[in-house]
Amino acid sequence: MKKLSLFLAVTLCSLASMATDFTGTLKVTVNGNVQQQNATISIDQNNGNYNLLLKNFVYEVNGVSKAVGNIAVSDVPAMAASGKTLFYAYQNVSIANGDDASATWIGPSLGEVPVKVVARMQGDYAVVDFEMQLQDEVYAVFENVGDHFQIPNSDFEVWTSSTGEPDHWHGFKSASGWLAGSAKGKLESSTDVRPGVTGKSALITSGSTFGIVNNGTMTNGQLNAGSMTAASPDNHSHMNVNSTATDNNGDPFYTALYAAPDAIKTWIKYTQGNSSGNDSYHANLSAIAFDGNYYQDPEDKTYTNVAAKAVDTLIVRGDWRELTIPFDYSSYAANNAPAQAILVTISTNAKPGVGFSGDKVWVDDMALVYNANVTNLTYQGTTIEGFDANTHEYIFAWESETAPQASDFVLTVEGKSAVKAVNVEEIENGYRVVAIATSGDLMTCNAYVINYEVPAPVGKPGDANGDDNVDVNDVTTVINYILGKNPTPFNSDNADVNGDSTVDVMDVTLIINMILGIN
């Protein structure tokens, strides 16, 4: 397979070196049933291309385990974009036995099977999608990303701190400031969780000191209680990559970002301590993406290290519902600040010292959202015929004498940290264009494949030797063919002038007539 060209739609860079083996989880879907298992994938460079090996693949159907074997996809061209390596392959592969000699591996008996692979890698992290036609249609996704691009313990299931706070999250018990021990807002574990799941959520409760409401507050940074005046900026959450402070688990009050998120979503439940309630009171959630240097919320000055904010100060009381809050990057674009850290703060009231003692906010299953939504695919500025974001494969005729160029194809993608790349390969009877967009966290990937078929050349009747002329040389070529002399070159389709599927003396006569201009 000849690689023609490579267009890096975001940033030209050399292919990143990477570890040979990736160990993670493999989620396998067969007939709508989802299974999960541990898996190892080996990915190695091979003269600029890549070899991929899924080791010891096993799946289950109706309670019956099927040991498939080692699945190898070889010589796959790669695309590099903003530190990520992307590739696409669709091959018929022969499956080898797995490593356990005592197992009965069915792969070798299947012959060549079609396997489609879409992979994306960054450093030590990889996500690989497989579509395989084995004895069953199998879809599998390998990933070892885990919560690398998320806020740790954002499902609030782990509570090992002696302060009773969720790991990596903090309330007033781990606060700084001279009033930290006096604040009455509480943070604790709850079994009241969002619909459809079991486990734990985080429960934030407001309190009261000397008749002043202390908003219940939770942050992944550190709280500071530094003033008796509720609205003072000395009462805030803060984060600083340069701080050496740690919580009771020894974890820093800091969460790094490795890609710029598009939104933050979470499940929220909000009740008020006064049974009559007050619909003008609202809980709030703020998420600030910034460069990692000191930042506090609420601000005590104008901070120029902010990359984006996602803020909802109008969370109304009510039962569990999912909130999705987009990040606003445009309002802070002038700061030119990278999104390298994230400070999240949730409070029982959007206004300091306002509300009721006993206001409660439950928080469950928080996640950062990274998009890679493709809205258009164009060739030389014109949308591909019939393009639809949900249709991933196209077939067209290619009638130009020159090969397609990757730089002529452009993906339009929505996603702050999404990357995209286009590759063109020469394949049998044409060209394959692969356009891939992947999200900043690698988990979402959209691959579009356009197969361009080059029409077979139209024959020229009488041109038996294929030199694009009809002359006496063609007469000689046909006569030699009839005499069994096997002339080279020889085009039998062109030599069969009368189209009777036989090259004989009648065709010689017709070629002579063509040369003489006799119809």
Q: What is the tens place of the pLDDT at every residue in 82-114?
A: 999 999 999 999 999 999 999 999 999 999 999
Place 307 in a pLDDT band, splitting at 50, 70 and 90.
very high
Place 252 in a pLDDT band, splitting at 50, 70 and 90.
very high
Together in a domain, 490 and 344: no
Q: Looking at the domain assignment, is residue 161 inside a domain?
A: no
List beta partners, residue 453.
397, 430
Strands (E), 82-133: 84-94, 112-122, 125-133
Together in a domain, 30 and 130: yes
The per-residue pLDDT for 179 is 82
Q: Looking at the domain assignment, is residue 248 inside a domain?
A: yes
The per-residue pLDDT for 17 is 42
Number of other CB atoms surrounding residue 103 within 10 Å: 14
> Phi and psi of 245, rounded to 5°?
-65, 145
Together in a domain, 201 and 350: yes
Strands (E), 157-221: 186-190, 201-205, 207-209, 212-214, 217-219
Q: Looking at the domain assignment, is residue 33 inside a domain?
A: yes
Place 35 in a pLDDT band, splitting at 50, 70 and 90.
very high
Residues 148-168 have pLDDT tens digits of: 999 999 999 999 988 899 999
CA–CA–CA angle 429, 386, 381 (5° rounding): 85
Reference 59, options 43, 76, 74, 37; nearest CA is 37
pLDDT at 10 over 90: no
If phi > 0 it is left, if psi is from -120 to 50 it is alpha, else beta; for residue 386 that is left
Together in a domain, 49 and 177: no
The per-residue pLDDT for 277 is 82
Q: Would you call 276 exposed, middle or buried from its count of C-beta atoms within 10 A (0-12, 13-18, 19+)?
A: exposed
Q: Measured between alpha carbons, how far is residue 141 from residues 8, 28, 35, 41 in Å?
A: 25, 7, 11, 11
Greater confidence (10 vs 97) lies with 97
| Mean per-residue pLDDT, 323-346 | 98
CA distance 355 to 388: 49
Q: Looking at the domain assignment, is residue 461 inside a domain?
A: no
Residues 6+ apart with CB under 8 A from 459: 491, 493, 494
Together in a domain, 50 and 11: yes
Together in a domain, 296 and 348: yes
The per-residue pLDDT for 13 is 33
Q: Looking at the domain assignment, is residue 10 inside a domain?
A: yes
Count of the separate structural domains present in the chain: 3
Q: Looking at the domain assignment, is residue 163 inside a domain?
A: no
Place 344 in a pLDDT band, splitting at 50, 70 and 90.
very high
Last residue of a domain, one of 353, 369, 385: 369
Q: Helix, strand or coil for residue 493?
A: helix
Place 14 in a pLDDT band, splitting at 50, 70 and 90.
very low
Last residue of a domain, one of 369, 400, 420: 369
pLDDT at 431 over 70: yes
Whichever domain contains 264, its CATH number is: 2.60.120.890
Place 518 in a pLDDT band, splitting at 50, 70 and 90.
confident
Q: Parallel, antiparallel, or unpaired: how do β-strands 430-438 and 382-383 relate?
A: unpaired
Place 183 in a pLDDT band, splitting at 50, 70 and 90.
confident
Reference 463, options 484, 492, 487; nearest CA is 492
Together in a domain, 120 and 250: no
Together in a domain, 320 and 421: no
Place 276 in a pLDDT band, splitting at 50, 70 and 90.
confident
Residues 6+ apart with CB under 8 A from 64: none
| Mean per-residue pLDDT, 247-259 | 95
Together in a domain, 88 and 222: no
Strands (E), 134-219: 137-143, 186-190, 201-205, 207-209, 212-214, 217-219
Last residue of a domain, one of 369, 390, 418: 369
Instruction: Measure the N-to-C terminal CA separation of the chain; round to a whole number of Å.
Output: 46
CA distance 418 to 443: 11
Q: Looking at the domain assignment, is residue 467 inside a domain?
A: no
Reference 446, options 129, 148, 73; nearest CA is 129
Residue indicated by tokens 């691959």: 447
Q: Looking at the domain assignment, is residue 167 inside a domain?
A: no
Together in a domain, 490 and 355: no
Reference 342, options 257, 280, 260; nearest CA is 257
Reference 345, options 266, 302, 288; nearest CA is 288
Greater confidence (330 vs 493) lies with 330
| Mean per-residue pLDDT, 125-147 | 95
Angle between helices 505-516 and 472-482 (to 10 degrees): 180
Residue indicated by tokens 């294929």: 466
Q: Contact 59/68 with Cβ under 8 angstroms?
A: yes
pLDDT at 7 over 70: no
The per-residue pLDDT for 261 is 98
Together in a domain, 361 and 388: no
Together in a domain, 190 and 298: yes
Containing structural domain, residue 179: 172-369
Average pLDDT, the chain: 91
Place 2 in a pLDDT band, splitting at 50, 70 and 90.
very low
Q: Please give the single-letter amino acid code of residue 435.
A: A
The per-residue pLDDT for 5 is 35
